[in-house]
Structure 1
Amino acid sequence: MKVTKHYALITGASMGLGKAAAESVAHRGYEVIGIARNMPEWEFPGSFYTCDLSNREESLSVFKTIKENYPVDCVFNNVGIVNPASVEELKWEDFMKTIELTVRTAVDAVQTFLPVMKEQHWGRIVNMSSIAANGIANRSSYSSSKAVMISLAKTWALELSKYNITVNAVAPGVIETPFFRKHNPEGSESEERYLKMIPGRKLGSPIHIGEAVAYLMSESAEYITGQTLFIDGGATIGGGTF
């Protein structure tokens, strides 16, 4: 089946990196369907559904509705939470909430829309990971969930390549989102601590992530699968200091 138009689902699409991805993917001519707990406070470039993705029954219902209305063939599994805590203070219920929202939502989304991708013999899946997947202090639940997203991308890539479906992950470093700025004002000690991690001492922009996601969803990226793209200004190559 020849695909003439693509439909991209983005979870956690109301702000930050989800917003950037929605704008970049829409710019490529894809029809974008966003999901988040709250409506965005900006003009979303497509259709938008409000849903508490931590509630499985609710999210499955919305996924079903979207499937009935759009032949989704691209999925960006973006939603997630941090729940910071040291290992001594880590609560198991918080750990599982992080895994539940990040990983379970990704699995449910892929299982919902995979039949369309297989039928048309084309699809793109992108998982949101993080450089935290390599380990970061006081982020046991977050780093674990992001490591799982990388593992799933590799595993699904092996399973789905025969259907011309690619699966990859993006792993951002320190990105200058409104959330980051709220907790790390310009000139603050915390900002300086993050900048020391980056060889060029420059924060990333949400558009860097959005454009990477859009490319991995493109037809041009057909020979890239099972990979993790670290978008971190070189932080993970050891040029910065922690």
Structure 2
Amino acid sequence: MKTTLITGGNSGIGAAIGDRLRARGERVVSLGLEKPTTENDTLFGYTADLTDAAATAQVAAQIAADHTIDAVVHNAGAILPNLLPDADPDDILKLAQLHLAAPMALTQAVLPGMIARGFGRILFITSRASMGMPTRSAYSATKAGVHGMMRTWALELAPKGITANVIAPGPVLTENFWGIVPKDGELQEKIANGVPVRRIGTPEDIANAAGFFLDDNASFVTGQVLYVCGGTSLGGLPS
């Protein structure tokens, strides 16, 4: 039975991916600021603040000791929106730790086992905003950086049977989204109307794509960015 580590696995996109994997008989290790409300023999919870490098290293070692991890989904993220005049350079450092350094530490901890077994799946959840979006200086920069890191890992790990890919969602109805856009308000409707498919995505839309990348049969797909975005990667979004 495969076991997948999911950061930010307690809610939103991470929880939807975990539900999909468990429905097909796999185990999930959820890592976030809080544990899942229930744990059982297919769902295990750990907590850590991934913006804290020391805490990340500690929990990475603990998870690697407790579980045989076959796949890693780096989903945890934060936005910290500001227009350029108000942007704080420290936000770039904070999000670089969360979006880049934390995934590196977690993957390094479980990588020896993947290499020994000749199998592994690494999947990052980034954002269509990696292509640029107003108020997203720190977020766009670090999410775009993930794409470069993923491609590097894909090249390094391909001979070892390990794939590395990215899903870059467009707007998705999660607490992160509603933390910026009032729920069910006029701006949400405006954004939905600006999406070519005329709706905002759901966590399940992203989980559908994740299920493909994490499958055993996806061994010939690595180093790719898939925009699950309703067509918004073809143009801008209303802001």
TM-score (norm: length of structure 1): 0.92
Q: Deviations over 1:74-107 (max 9, x none)?
A: 0001111111111111111122111111111111
Letter in 2 for 1:184: P
Alignment of 1:37 with 2:37, yes or no, is: no
Q: 2:30 touches 2:36 (CA, 8 Å); kept in 1?
A: no
- Aligned pair 1:228/2:225, yes or no? yes
Per-residue CA deviations over 1:54-85 (Å, capped at 9, x if unaligned) read 21111211111111111112000111111111
CA distance in 2, matches of 1:174, 1:98: 19
- In structure 1, the partner of 2:49 is 52
Q: How many residues align?
A: 237
In structure 2, C-alpha distance between the alignment counterparts of 1:86 and 1:30, rounded to whole Å: 42
Aligned positions of 1:1-242 closer than 5 A: 5-41=1-37, 46-181=43-178, 183-186=181-184, 188-238=185-235
2:8 and 2:75 in contact (8 A); partners too: yes
TM-score w.r.t. length of structure 2: 0.93
SS in 2 for 1:49: strand
Query: What amino acid does structure 1 have at the position aligned with 2:150?
Result: A
Q: Is the 8 A contact 2:61 2:109 kept in 1?
A: yes
CA distance in 1, matches of 2:2, 2:194: 38
Q: Secondary structure at the match of 1:196?
A: helix
Task: Select between 228-237 and 118-127 the one with higher mean Cα deviation.
Answer: 228-237
- CA shift digits 1:161-209 (9 cap, x unpaired): 00010000000001112443463322x2211331233112111111111
Structure 2 unaligned regions, length at least 5? none
Cα-to-partner distance string for 1:28-79 (whole Å, 9 max, x where unaligned):
2221101111123466750001111221111211111111111112000111
Q: Flag the 1:82–1:240 CA change in 2: closer, same or farther, 3 A.
A: closer
Could you tell me how far apart the structure 2 residues matched to 1:8 and 1:240 are?
A: 33
**Where does the alignment leave 5 or more consecutive residues of structure 1 unmatched?**
none
Does the 8 A contact of 1:83 with 1:95 survive in 2? no
